[in-house]
Amino acid sequence: IERIQKPVLLISHNKTLAAQTFQEFKEFFPGNAVHYFVSYYDYYQPEAYIPQTDTYIEKDAKINEEIDRLRHAATQDLLTRDDIIIIASVSCIYNIGSPEAYQQVSLEIKPGQKIKRKDFLKNLCGLQYQRNDIDFKPGTFRVRGNVVDIYLVTGKEILRVEFFGDEINKISISPPGLNSKFNILNSTFKLYPAHFWVTPQEKIAVSIENIKLELQDQLKKLKKDYNPPTASSHSLRERAPKKLLEVQRLEQRTNYDLEMLKETGYCHGVENYSRHLEFRK
């Protein structure tokens, strides 16, 4: 690694081995950006439907917030540093969105920048940061008068942005903690999204229309599997399309996701729509 002087990805067989290697490499390379990138699911139950018993099992997952923060820290340093070493599990091969889109939606701010506080808060929400003046934690922000505190999604720092009129008067940063001191920043600071798969707003509308087209195609395929009514049909189930419930569930779930995408730019399970969000065939 020292000889080639390039960013390094080291893939381990499992989370445990990756964690051991991560600790060792932090000692080997104290000056480098050494990161840990593994799956953030502590538990994952995929969505399923059993038509024989009309049983619908909702997708259920428990996300480890600490690992999620480590994944964000790794991704951000990968875009800004050349001396990076990422220790990962096989989870790293799964798509988390376009690097170009991730950088495009990020927000650059600097002292003296002309921007209304209202517009700044709107941009924060567009980056999937949530306002929470009580439970201040990574991925949230709070507002006190002309001061906006942002708990960066990596969990390492709190960014403070102070306004004077329609202008950013001062930017400072501090490690989390009650008695931590804020250090003033005089340079440009780049705010990255609080979630992966945040798509530029101008592409969302086109993506939604493409998802709707695929939805209609899938609904047509399901509706073709049909039980035509006959004189001997004894129940509604016998006279209905064989996959009527699948049709209803698919339409209901997809339309809900589309509404979330339209309003917030994000929805749970957004990776299922990755082909449309990245305009891949």
Residue-wise pLDDT tens digits, 183-209: 999 999 999 999 998 888 788 999 999
- Residue 150 in tokens: 């942002």
Q: Report domain 8-94's class.
A: alpha beta
Sign of CA dihedral 184, 185, 189, 192: negative
pLDDT at 36: 97
- Residue 260 in tokens: 């979330």
Cβ(74)–Cβ(36) below 8 Å: yes
Q: Domain-by-domain residue ranges, the chain?
A: 8-94, 100-191, 201-277
Residue with tokens 């989370």: 15
- Rounded Cα distance between 91 and 89, Å, is 5
- Spans in the chain with pLDDT lower than 70: 225-242
What fold does the segment set 100-191 form as a domain? Penicillin-binding protein 1b fold (3.30.2060)
Cβ(169)–Cβ(162) below 8 Å: yes
Average pLDDT of the chain is: 89
pLDDT at 242: 62
- Rounded Cα distance between 261 and 279, Å, is 16
Residue with tokens 């306002």: 131
pLDDT per residue over 147-180, tens digit each? 999 999 999 999 999 999 999 999 999 999 888 8
Cβ(182)–Cβ(170) below 8 Å: no
3-state SS assignment for residue 191: strand
